[in-house]
Amino acid sequence: MDKAVLRPDQELREIVHHLKNLITIDREMGLEAPKLSASTIAYMDKGPSEGQSLEGLKKFIGECTRCKLSDKRTHLVFGEGSEKARLVFVGEGPGREEDLAGRPFVGEAGELLTKIIENGMNLRREDVYICYIIKCHPPGNRDPESDEIDACLPFLKKQLALIQPEVICTLGQIAAQSLLGRDFKMTRERGRWQSFEEISVMPTFHPAYILRNPDRERELKGLVWKDIKKIMKRMGLEVKRND
């Protein structure tokens, strides 16, 4: 009896299944994972399948060697917070202190972000989710390169698909450009609602940018607080009258 002809979507699922098996076998043999085509990555990045979780994704990423940043990192910084977070903060990438700790936003910029979350928004840090565009520290705190972003971005997209937040707050230009497009300009579009995969996105300044510009600290904090209040209003959170 002839084998039944598969529909295009069934055939694509079979191809992806075999590719994933090959990747697993190659990894177990110590071989570098093959680079997947954009169409395959796009297919694999569709909505979460039943039973998937952030912890499962973290295990799948493992001790990642998909880009050159793995050579000098101390820890991969996956992200932390609630799997059911209504709000996700996305930064550019881990700094030196985050690399050493293996946790996002633990340095001075992290202290400022925590104050925004806990004192400003009256939320607990563990109620939101905090992560990065890339998960490894770039040497010398340089900007991540395009190939590094391309290697890591599918995993961030999967994190967002699993969490399904109401709002994403991008911190800094690179984080915003990576999710919203390279034509995004912070000076032009900061504080204006955007959209990523039908999720509302509020771009604002990175806390580190505020710290690097002490002469503008009051001004920049005021602008960030305006953006945060827009997020709170979108989420139905109470904003103090004197704010």
Q: Decide which of 222 and 12 is more confident.
A: 222
* Average pLDDT rounded to a whole number, residues 182-204: 95
Q: Decide which of 21 and 202 is more confident.
A: 202
Domain 69-235 superfamily per CATH: Uracil-DNA glycosylase-like domain (3.40.470.10)
Check whether 109 has a pLDDT greater than 80: yes
Q: What are the boundaries of each domain within the chain?
A: 69-235
* Average pLDDT rounded to a whole number, residues 102-126: 97
Share the mean pLDDT of the chain. 86
Pairwise CA distance, residues 166 & 206, whole Å: 20
Amino acid code (one letter) for 110: G
Nearest partner of 78 among 197, 182, 202, 163, judged by Cα:
163
**DSSP character at residue 118:** I
The torsion region of residue 170 among left (phi > 0), alpha (psi -120 to 50) and beta comes to beta
Beta strand pairing call for 129-132 and 80-81:
antiparallel
Distance of CA 34 to the CA centre of its chain: 23
Q: Rounded to two decimals, what is the model's pTM?
A: 0.80
The full DSSP string for 126-137 is GGSEEEESSSSP
The CB-side HSE value for 55 (13 A sphere, CA atoms) comes to 2
Check whether 241 has a pLDDT greater than 70: no
pLDDT per residue as tens digits for the range 204-236: 999 999 999 999 999 999 999 999 999 999 999
**Residue 227, helix vs strand vs coil:** helix
Check whether 93 has a pLDDT greater than 50: yes
pLDDT of residue 40: 39
Per mean pLDDT, which range of 23-32, 130-139, 160-169 is the poorest?
23-32
Nearest partner of 130 among 81, 163, 170, judged by Cα:
81
pLDDT-derived band at 6 (thresholds 50, 70, 90) equals low
pLDDT-derived band at 25 (thresholds 50, 70, 90) equals very low
pLDDT-derived band at 240 (thresholds 50, 70, 90) equals confident
Q: Decide which of 98 and 33 is more confident.
A: 98
